[in-house]
Amino acid sequence: MAEITTTAYTEDVPPGSLITRDGQMQWAGLLLGPGTPYEIGRDGLSGWEDLPEYDSTDADHPTAHGAWPGARYAKPRKIGGTVWTVPAADDTASSLAAIRALRQGLLLGDAERWLAVRLHGETLAVRARVGQRVLAADRTYTTQGVSKASVQWYATDPRRYAVDEQAAVTGAPQPESGLTWPLTWPLYWGQTASTGDVGADNNGSAPTHPVLTFTGPCTNPTVTDRTSGRRLRYEIGLAAGDELVVDTAAGTVTLNGTASRRHTAAADSSPEELFAFEPGRAELAFRPDTYDTGAQLAVRWRSAEW
């Protein structure tokens, strides 16, 4: 017997945490698809595997054919589908419980939630809101308790993300310990405690924005992506235990979770929104001006797909 698998229907639980099999999708705390009272229509989902629409900055040649190619920026993604409510038992109470859960899950809200879909063992997720919900109160529902719902989600960020978040940490560069006297053969030059370098792999097809956390004690924390050449640098001193968190997707720079410090960005620092990991491997170098033991850079990101 199928059961309604859910936490609070609108709770923003980790993406894909309720999914157990292919063909299922999870919207916030509501699970849809095989093994639940909610069957996905035979046409599946529209807009899920499609490239999103985009704006282009191409400029037409004024005196020649064609145009100069410019940048292209993806528009929000629209995901739609049909959901059939098939209650676990042929009784009024079961039908009402299933439809009430669907109502509560597919409400008109301002906050985005995770929408995750598993296909062929791969689970991807977007941040989205319900854009449309049409529940048919027709004869089939009245007599059999089976209802048809047309649903559309609207994702302001069109990228689809891996559900597993990746993380990497590096300390500030530390010198080698050097030779030990008296000299013995073979010579041992010591081992570097920390190089200040760390790699970040984006295994998807779209650029992804990381969250970077600088921890003191250090001054003027700086990170450079050697792959793209982009750099973030902040003219600020961090005491031991201070954390400067840079959310590159949101464009925010926050000290100790409360105070905005975006104004401390140096003149040669890239805009936070442009600091993204392209598909492939990013090579990051953490180079504060001065530092002591405990200074470090932590990076969090998800691989992203179009």
State how far the Cα of 31 lies from the Cα of 119, in Å rounded to an integer: 15
Give me the phi and psi of 69, to 5 degrees please.
Answer: -70, 135
pLDDT value of position 6: 43
How many other CB atoms are there within 10 angstroms of residue 104's CB atom?
Answer: 15
Nearest to 231 by CA among 246, 216, 250: 246
Which CATH code fits 166-305?
2.60.120.860
Please list, in sequence order, all residues whose beta carbon lies within 8 angstroms of the beta carbon of residue 190, skipping any fewer than 6 positions away.
176, 177, 178, 179, 180
Which CATH code fits 25-162?
2.40.30.200
Q: Can you give the residue ranges of every domain in the chain?
A: 25-162, 166-305
Please list, in sequence order, all residues whose beta carbon lies within 8 angstroms of the beta carbon of residue 255, skipping any fewer than 6 positions away.
236, 242, 243, 244, 245, 261
pLDDT value of position 225: 96
pLDDT in tens, the chain (306 residues): 344 444 567 788 899 999 999 999 999 999 999 999 899 998 899 999 999 999 999 999 999 999 999 999 999 999 999 998 887 666 667 778 888 888 888 888 899 999 999 999 999 999 999 999 888 877 777 777 788 889 999 999 999 999 999 999 999 987 655 545 666 666 544 455 578 899 999 999 999 999 999 999 999 999 999 999 999 999 999 999 999 999 999 999 999 999 999 999 999 999 999 999 999 999 999 999 999 989 999 999 999 999
Side chain identity at residue 115, one-letter code: L
SS (H, E, C) the chain: CCCCCECCCCCCCCCCCCCCCCCCEEECCEEECCCCCEEEEEEEEECCCCCCCEEECCEECCCCCCEECCCEEECCEEEEEEEEECCCCCCHHHHHHHHHHHHHHCCCCCCCEEEEEEECCEEEEEEEEEEEEEECCCHHHHHHCCEEEEEEEEECCCCEEECCCEEEEEECCCCCCCCCCCCCCCCCCCCCCCCCEEEEEECCCECECCEEEEEECEECCEEEECCCCCEEEECCEECECCEEEEECCCCEEEECCCEECHHHECCCCCCHHHCCECCEEEEEEECCCEECCCCEEEEEECCEEC
Q: Specify whether the CB–CB gap between 301 and 200 falls below 8 A.
A: yes
pLDDT value of position 192: 55
pLDDT value of position 2: 47
Residues in a beta bridge with 233? 222
State how far the Cα of 275 lies from the Cα of 252, in Å rounded to an integer: 12
pLDDT value of position 19: 95
